[in-house]
Amino acid sequence: MELIVILKNMKEMGLKMNSKNLVLGYIKLSIVILIWGGVYHVAKFLTNGTDPFTLSFTRFFIASVILLILHHNCNGINGFKKTKNDWIVLFLIGFFGICLYNLFFFAAESLISANIVSIIYSLTPCITVYLGSIFLKQKIGVGGNIGVLVALIGAIGVISLSDGDCGKIFCSSLFRHISLGQTFSILASFCMAIYSILNKRASHMGISSLTITTFSSFFGMILLLIPFLIWGDAKSLLAKSWEFWLAMGYTSILSTVIAYKWYSDAIQEIGMGQTVVCQNGIPFATIIIGALFYNQGVSWGVFISGAVIVLGVIITNFSVNRYS
């Protein structure tokens, strides 16, 4: 009897811990969505007079230095001892999620508006969920597919209603002609989807979220060094204003050190499918931040579309949890 009581108490404690982790994971993820929603506006400021190669390398040089110090303080020298397979996965995360993603992201920001870049990013959850079902054998289910579709419809509503030439729930003309900036945004979405899948793979291998963030950022920074030395402009950094470095601090510390770490935490604590679908909220967050801080108008239709996105996230989370 005592054994049964002990096992029952252990089970209840496990459920409480899982519930606590879920709540903490969603709090972290919500903050990440807000931070990444703001980074689109900050990046637009950074790209004014600075090339993508210089911005990408500078962002992750700062982030890597901070992360390596934190990682060493938390894990010591033994934290740098990894298997060959660990290093391969961490390198691939850095290649796709840091190097390629940031080159495409800053290139897109230099060509099209911040709102459009963030809105195209709403393709990422759909790409991630379906790539995850192929490579990670993650079950989606009918409800999961419906949830992703609902969230995507909400994102499309935000796209259409926030476009000055459309102003309706849906305008097909927005999707007929894809510019170079939009192409870069789509490629960035694919890179972020691959980042999430590899991040989940690293989690399954027992690699901590801090280790994933630290070494993927380091490898990404090393890879970004090559195009920076060839096409970047190191001398221009010496003449940058304090506003530039404040904005760079936002992208390198808040949007990278903290947000990337908490995003990895959410994947481990909540699950990949549930985490990535929440990214559909980034366009809504970007537009709201634009309205609050950049005097960009927001209609009630945009708010309603944002609510549709949240509904899609809830449906997806409920469905995927059934298969977890």
Whether residue 105 is predicted with pLDDT greater than 80 in this model: the reply is yes
pLDDT band for position 229 (cuts 50, 70, 90)? very high
pLDDT band for position 323 (cuts 50, 70, 90)? very low
pTM of the model: 0.78
Digit-coded pLDDT (tens) for 174-190: 555 567 887 898 899 89
Range from 4-13, 105-114, 241-250, 263-272 carrying the lowest mean pLDDT: 4-13
The identity of residue 20, as a single letter, is: K
Outline where the chain has alpha helix (H): 2-46, 52-75, 84-93, 101-109, 114-120, 123-135, 141-162, 180-204, 209-231, 234-237, 242-249, 259-269, 272-277, 281-293, 300-323
* Cα–Cα distance list, 253 to 67, 78, 115, 247, 300 (Å): 9, 25, 22, 10, 33
Helix axes 180-204, 84-93, angle to 10 degrees: 160
- Going by C-alpha positions, the residue among 105, 115, 289, 258 that lies closest to residue 190 is 105
Report whether 97 contacts 220 (CB < 8 A).
Answer: yes
Mean pLDDT of 123-127: 76
pLDDT band for position 172 (cuts 50, 70, 90)? low
pLDDT band for position 207 (cuts 50, 70, 90)? very high
- Note the pLDDT of residue 91: 97
Digit-coded pLDDT (tens) for 66-79: 999 999 998 888 87
The residue with greater pLDDT, 56 or 25, is 56
Structure-token pair, residue 236: 């221009």
SS3 194: helix
